[in-house]
Amino acid sequence: MFPERQKGWEMTKFDSMIIECEERIKELAGDAQEVANEHWRFHYRENAGRPPREKGRLNVWVRARKGGLEISWTHFRFVKHAGAVSSRPKSIHITKGRGNKYRAHSLTVRAKDWEIDQVLETEEKLAEIRAEYASVRKIITYAKEVNKKAAKRLGQPRKESGNQEVLGGEVA
């Protein structure tokens, strides 16, 4: 099945698939950032002329690091500590729950009336990105599992992080 692997541990189809998936995650992070930036532009534009009590305080964040992608919503409020001259913003993470999409209620209860439609539209786009990201992560996980099992079965060393040779799952 893997004739090129019989001769030595070279890059396999699964290794190249992992690299392609990691590239796709970077593309998804860029797409998510574009959606988040669109929300931020709307947020700044609409908040500019509003009095403090009517300003929206719901924000979306995109974080890509270590091959992962996190897209989350936060709500902030201002807190004034005892003896402080001014108040400071406190950001509160909104829990997503199961699945790839935030519950509409979790977002609408924290959003101002004027921003609800935009927030729900933004979340729809981000939910699609989260769903694709979850699928890509599964592909990476399964491809790594196949590589590990093939190496163990064939008894051939493969490189792990830290340049340690691994023989069938054990450090050589």
Q: What is the pLDDT along the chain (172 residues), one digit of tens a residue?
A: 455 545 444 557 788 899 999 999 999 999 999 999 999 999 999 999 999 889 888 999 999 988 899 999 999 887 878 888 887 888 899 999 889 999 999 999 999 999 999 999 999 999 999 999 999 999 999 999 988 888 888 776 655 555 555 544 555 4
Distance of alpha carbon 136 from alpha carbon 21, whole angstroms? 6
Question: Which of 167, 144, 170 is CA-nearest to residue 157?
Answer: 167
Do the Cβ atoms of 102 and 81 come closer than 8 Å?
Answer: no
Prediction pTM value: 0.78
